[in-house]
C-alpha cells in the first residue's frame, strides 16, 4: 500500500495520502519514479518511517510470573481460614479477578466485561466460562476477539460461588434488576455500589500488591498473568493449537511468534513445577478449550 501511494506521489498524481501515511525527518524530497513492489518493507529511504510498522517476530521472552508468585498475588487478596475467606467481599472479588486471569489467560478487558451468566457451574459437568464479544462496558473495557469457551477447574468454580454468596449477602440480587446479566466485577467499597469496575481499580490493587510483596517483580501487570498462563500450558505439554484457541488468538502463528521461545527454553524452570501448576485446570485437549 505504501509503495502504491509513493509511486503516485512521485508521478505527480497526488502526494497527500503518502504524506499522511509516512512521517519524515526533514523536507519532502522526490525519489526515482520507479518504486519496487516491496518498497516500504524493511529499511526505509532517507529516514522515512511508516506510521504502521512492519510486524517482526518476538525475539525476547515475554514476562512471566512463577507459580509461587501467582500464589502470592492471590493470597495477597484473600485467603481461606477455617472455612471463611479473609477481607470480606471486596477481597474475595479481587482474588477471583486475578484467579480468572491466571487460569483462563483472559485479557483485562475480557475479564471486566464478564457477566454472571457467562459462568456455567454447578451442573455436575466441567465448569466453563463463555467469552462473549461485547463493546458495551461503561468504562471502555472491551472484548478484543470473537467468542470462545474456556473450561476451568473446581477451585475457580468454588471461588466464584463464594463471591456470589457474598454479593447476595449484600443484597445485590435486590438492588440490581437482573443480577444474572449484570457485570461480575463490580464496586463494593467506593463509588456506586454494584457498578462495573474500571481498569484503574485493578491497577490500583496491583500497586498495592507490589508494595506489600517485594517478592513480586516491581513492574508486573495484569497482562503478565496471560503470559504466565500460556507459558504454563506450553511447558506442561499442551498442543500449540489448543493454547491458541484458549487465548483467543486469530491463528497459531500468533501464538508461536509470541511464545515460541518457551519451548526452546523449557529448561528455564522445572517442568514438574509447571505441570503441577496446571494440574487442576480442565479442558486442555482437543475436545475442549
pLDDT digits (tens, 9 = 90+) for 246-278: 999 888 888 888 877 665 555 555 677 888 889
Higher pLDDT, 263 or 279: 279
Return the pLDDT at 225. 96
In the chain, domain spans: 2-50, 63-289
Name the one residue in this structure whose C-alpha cell is 455500589: 193
Tell me the mean pLDDT in the region 45-61.
Answer: 54
Name the one residue in this structure whose C-alpha cell is 496446571: 278
pTM higher than 0.85, yes or no?
no
CB atoms within 10 A of CB 51: 9
Terminal Cα-to-Cα distance of the chain (whole angstroms) = 37
Of the candidates 125, 122, 95, 126, the residue with the CA atom closest to the CA atom of residue 111: 95
* Helix/strand/coil for 255: helix
Return the pLDDT at 6. 67
Query: What pLDDT band is residue 25 in, cutting at 50, 70 and 90?
Result: very low
Fold entry, domain 63-289:
hpI Integrase; Chain A (1.10.443)
Return the pLDDT at 31. 46
Rounded Cα distance, 39 and 47, in Å: 14
H helical segments located in 152-212: 154-169, 172-175, 199-212
Share of the chain above pLDDT 90, in %: 50
Query: What pLDDT band is residue 136 in, cutting at 50, 70 and 90?
Result: confident
Distance of CA 244 to the CA centre of its chain: 13
Query: What pLDDT band is residue 280 in, cutting at 50, 70 and 90?
Result: confident
Return the pLDDT at 48. 57
pLDDT digits (tens, 9 = 90+) for 137-194: 998 888 877 789 999 999 999 999 999 999 999 999 999 999 999 999 999 988 899 9
The total number of residues written for the chain in this structure: 289
Amino acid at each position: 500500500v505504501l509503495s502504491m501511494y509513493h509511486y503516485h506521489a512521485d508521478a505527480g498524481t497526488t502526494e497527500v495520502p503518502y504524506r499522511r501515511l509516512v512521517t519524515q525527518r526533514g523536507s519532502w524530497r522526490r525519489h526515482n519514479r520507479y518504486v519496487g513492489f516491496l518498497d516500504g518493507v524493511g529499511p526505509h529511504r532517507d529516514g522515512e518511517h511508516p506510521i504502521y510498522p512492519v510486524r517482526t517476530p518476538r525475539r525476547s521472552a515475554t514476562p512471566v510470573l512463577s507459580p509461587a508468585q501467582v500464589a502470592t498475588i492471590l493470597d495477597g487478596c484473600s485467603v481461606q481460614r477455617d472455612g471463611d475467606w479473609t477481607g470480606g467481599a471486596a477481597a474475595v472479588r479481587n482474588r477471583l479477578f486475578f484467579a480468572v486471569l491466571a487460569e483462563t489467560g483472559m485479557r483485562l478487558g475480557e475479564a471486566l466485561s464478564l457477566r454472571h451468566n457467562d459462568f456455567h457451574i454447578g451442573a455436575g459437568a466441567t465448569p466453563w466460562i463463555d467469552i462473549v464479544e461485547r463493546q458495551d462496558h461503561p468504562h471502555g473495557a472491551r472484548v478484543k476477539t470473537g467468542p470462545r469457551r474456556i473450561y476451568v477447574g473446581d477451585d475457580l468454580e468454588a471461588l466464584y460461588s463464594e463471591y456470589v454468596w457474598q454479593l447476595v449477602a449484600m443484597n445485590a440480587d435486590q438492588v440490581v434488576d437482573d443480577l444474572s446479566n449484570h457485570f461480575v466485577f463490580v464496586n463494593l467499597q467506593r463509588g456506586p455500589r454494584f457498578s462495573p469496575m474500571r481498569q484503574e481499580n485493578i491497577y490500583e490493587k496491583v500497586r498495592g500488591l507490589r508494595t506489600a510483596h517485594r517478592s513480586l517483580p516491581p513492574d508486573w501487570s495484569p497482562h503478565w498473568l496471560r503470559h504466565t498462563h500460556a507459558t504454563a500450558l506450553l511447558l506442561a505439554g499442551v498442543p500449540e493449537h489448543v493454547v491458541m484457541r484458549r487465548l483467543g488468538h486469530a491463528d497459531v502463528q500468533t501464538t508461536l511468534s509470541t511464545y515460541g521461545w518457551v519451548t526452546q527454553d523449557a529448561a528455564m524452570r522445572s517442568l514438574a513445577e509447571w505441570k503441577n501448576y496446571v494440574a487442576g485446570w480442565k479442558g486442555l485437549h482437543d475436545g475442549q478449550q
